[in-house]
Amino acid sequence: MAGQIVEFRSNGGTASGYFALPPSGSGPAVVVIQEWWGLVDHIKDVADRFAFMGFVALAPDMYHGQKTEEPDEAGKLMMALNIDQAAKDLAGAVSYLLARPETTSRTAAAIGFCMGGQLALYAAAVAPGQVSVVADFYGVHPSVKIDYSTLKAAVCGTFAENDTWAPPQVAADLEAQIKAGGAATDFKVYKGAEHGFFNDTRPSVYHAAYTKDAWERTLDFFRAHLA
């Protein structure tokens, strides 16, 4: 079933995103959060993959229509992200999904890549009763601050050994902080992998075997912790 662009409420305003339903027509909720490039076709494809696996998926447009293929421009868009507005958009996306009649879960999962990995954790912080599980793929955003001691969502972390943005020590420190708060974790650093290795539109860093393993780990973790 082909996905579509939908609008949802965002604290009195509106936001939009790419919405995809599973072949069965119903399933648990997952929010798919973009890399710094914007809501590009790759992220829509990831939402479609989740739908194919039985999830009701929504990829919110965190840049409100802006996207790019140029790293310099992507960096500027990431740093220009209004964090307060992002919190509203994430909370709105979660609420929209959970209110959909096709959604069968009481809570939502959140997954994000690069910038989106940090925003997926942020979604769990701003919607603590609604997001019960997070998948963070090499997440980084220097302006998104989270009190991990209050984080209750279970977190599956996927990181790359050769990552200058979110190196293995950052992953280790993050897992330690989340564990200290009492949340369940499953973190893995992929040996020899580069930042962005899950993105199959970037042949310079894409790693098919690691992507397959990370995808299966994420699905298993979501199914174990999504209520």
61, 89, 163, 225: the active-site residue: 163
Of the pLDDT bands very low, low, confident and very high (cuts 50, 70, 90), residue 12 is confident
Catalytic status, residue 186: no
Domain boundary assignment for the chain: 4-225
141, 195, 207, 225: the active-site residue: 195
Residue 172 has pLDDT above 80, yes or no: yes
Catalytic status, residue 156: no
Catalytic status, residue 225: no
Reported pTM: 0.97
Residue 202 has pLDDT above 90, yes or no: yes
The sheet carrying 56-60 orders its strands as 4-10, 13-20, 56-60, 27-33, 103-113, 131-137, 154-162, 185-194
Q: Which CATH number among 3.10.129.10, 3.60.110.10, 3.40.630.40, 3.40.50.1820 corresponds to the domain 4-225?
A: 3.40.50.1820
Residue 1 has pLDDT above 80, yes or no: no
114, 136, 156, 225: the active-site residue: 114
